[in-house]
Structure 1
Amino acid sequence: MALLDRTDDPEQAPPKGAAPIRRLALVALMCLVLGGIGGVFAATATRPEPAAARFIPPRQQAYDFSLRNQDGRRTSLADGRGKVIAMTFIYATCRDLCPAEGSDIAQAMRMVGGRGVEAYVISVDPIGDTPQRVRDWLNRRAFPAGAGQYLIGTRDELRPVWIHYGIAPLQASRKEAEAAAAGADAFFTANPQYNQPQTQPFHYEVPPQPTTTPSGADDAYPDPADLAYRGRARHVAGWDFEHSAYVLLIDKHGTQRLGIPFEALEPRSLARDLRALLAEP
């Protein structure tokens, strides 16, 4: 006589409906165990930092130009062919964002050894950016030898460059720009320690923005001439000295490759970007 399976024996079989209940209980137990493990993992795991903001410009030849550098030598973007160019827009008498941005670029270039890389710093202040002031600015940033070009000119000479790279320059009047530059000169004269080459990062914190809604927030189309709608000015000198700026990396063939906003700029990551472009043929 064949042995009966437990489920074939009416007396040994589980009550009707018991099997689904057991399965449900087992699933619930597994969920509790897995949930507990997940909770422990979530409590102890380190959340990865968000990726730094980048933007990819159209992969095309960067707009070329010819401007005079800090030594009066006519310089074009084509002159940098064969090197990786980090281009940005600055004014020399700024005492907050611009020195922070310049110091980050200079430090990244020191990290890669200064070979095969060059900074093109383009003026947004044709009034205050004199040859002496921009030379002093470069010296304070401690760029590697031959790795820094500060390009200046008249408003008419600089305007096509601003337009092609989407840059809004200073809105200050001539009188305001001259007064701000004179104030910066006086500051550096009274504080000679700031005139020395600075090899350490220049730390700048963006001031907190107001919690109230700017008056132009409900406009159908923001007025680009009304800089106040963006909130509190980030420059200590006020809205007339606000200007747009970012770092644009241009490869050895003169092709624009990567854009980095100021808020995402960091020497170590910039050095990695420079090395990656240097490694290309």
Structure 2
Amino acid sequence: MPARLRLALFVTGLLALAAIAAVLMFAVGERTVPAAGFAGAVRPPDMPRTDFAVRDEHGEELRLAEMRGKPVVVTFLYTTCRDTCPLTAQQIRIALDDLGHDVPVVAVSVDPANDTPRRARAFALEQGLQGRMRWALGSASELQRLWRAYGIQPQSDDAEHTASTIVLDGQGVQRVGFAASILTPDGLAHDIAMLERERRAAS
């Protein structure tokens, strides 16, 4: 085989390999959920179960223990937020839509002085989550135990709150967490579905 032909074939082969590698890199970069395992960060296995009984935006008692048996999404928001919180709410709404059914979603206030029931109801309505998400409202002293249990820094004049969304399993155990920077509808829906399958397999 002439040297020029061998060189041409060699260069063509290299270009083909480079093209395949580029396609694979693009495909990996486009993935939003893993092929196996959780999309969110796995929580430590010794995280204690934390029940709470507070009032929601309608003045009704909200008790976490009553939600046992299915995954529960717990997120931390405040009603006057104009950036991270509405985005988080939309990610959750789209995840529920993608999942095809609702699971309990609880938004724990991180700004109790300003998160009034009226503002909480308005926020849920604006985000398309009316009837799909309940607010956990109360005084700072009432919510302090929740913030501590989930590792949350509340909103203050000096610091932004911890923007975190956590998924509990059917036993109320913290299983996976999403910082706002990694929360996606695909990832959240994926992890909820994994916990639902896990629950069915165990029953």
Calculate the TM-score normalised by the size of structure 1. Answer: 0.59
What are the within-5 Å matches in structure 2 for residues 208-227 of structure 1?
A: none
Residue in 2 aligned with 1:106?
93
CA distance, structure 1, for counterparts of residue 126 and residue 66 of structure 2: 24
**1:74 pairs with one of 61, 72, 75:** 61
**1:149 pairs with one of 122, 131, 134:** 134
What amino acid is aligned across from residue 269 of structure 1 in structure 2?
G
Deviation at 1:84, TM superposition (A): 1.2
The one-character-per-residue Cα deviations of 1:152-210 (angstroms, maximum 9, x if unpaired) are: 110100111111111111122xxxxxxxxxxxxxxxxxxxxxxxxxxxxxxxxxxxxxx
CA distance, structure 2, for counterparts of residue 38 and residue 118 of structure 1: 53
**2:156 pairs with one of 163, 171, 180:** 171
CA distance, structure 2, for counterparts of residue 170 and residue 161 of structure 1: 14
Which has the bigger relative contact order, CA under 8 A and spacing at least 6?
Answer: 2
**1:254 pairs with one of 172, 175, 183:** 172
The one-character-per-residue Cα deviations of 1:222-276 (angstroms, maximum 9, x if unpaired) are: xxxxxxxxxxxxxxxxxx3511121111111212111111111111221122222
Assess if the C-alpha contact under 8 Å between 1:62 and 1:250 holds in 2.
no
* Residues 130, 241 of structure 1: alpha-carbon distance in 2 compared, 3 angstrom cutoff: farther
Structure 1, 260-269 or 46-55: larger mean CA deviation: 46-55
Structure 1 residue matching 2:69: 3-state secondary structure: coil
State the identity %. Answer: 33
Assess if the C-alpha contact under 8 Å between 1:67 and 1:153 holds in 2.
yes
Residue in 2 aligned with 1:37?
13
CA distance, structure 2, for counterparts of residue 152 and residue 258 of structure 1: 23
Deviation at 1:54, TM superposition (A): 2.9
1:85 paired to 2:72: yes
CA distance, structure 1, for counterparts of residue 100 and residue 154 of structure 2: 32
1:125 paired to 2:111: yes
Residue in 1 aligned with 2:36?
none
Deviation at 1:143, TM superposition (A): 2.4
Deviation at 1:38, TM superposition (A): 4.1
Calculate the TM-score normalised by the size of structure 2. Answer: 0.80
Assess if the C-alpha contact under 8 Å between 2:111 and 2:156 holds in 1.
no
Deviation at 1:51, TM superposition (A): 6.2
* Residues 81, 57 of structure 1: alpha-carbon distance in 2 compared, 3 angstrom cutoff: same
Residue in 2 aligned with 1:226?
none
Structure 2 residue matching 1:139: 3-state secondary structure: helix
Q: Compare CA radii of gyration and give the structure with the larger one.
A: 1
Unpaired segments ≥5 residues, structure 1: 1-28, 173-239
Structure 1 residue matching 2:104: 3-state secondary structure: strand
Assess if the C-alpha contact under 8 Å between 2:77 and 2:107 holds in 1.
yes
Unpaired segments ≥5 residues, structure 2: 1-5, 34-38
Residue in 2 aligned with 1:201?
none
The one-character-per-residue Cα deviations of 1:80-121 (angstroms, maximum 9, x if unpaired) are: 112211111110110001000011101211222334x11110
Residue in 2 aligned with 1:194?
none
What amino acid is aligned across from residue 130 of structure 1 in structure 2?
T
Residue in 1 aligned with 2:51?
64
Structure 2 residue matching 1:264: 3-state secondary structure: coil
Aligned length: 182
CA distance, structure 2, for counterparts of residue 108 and residue 159 of structure 1: 28
Residue in 1 aligned with 2:126?
140
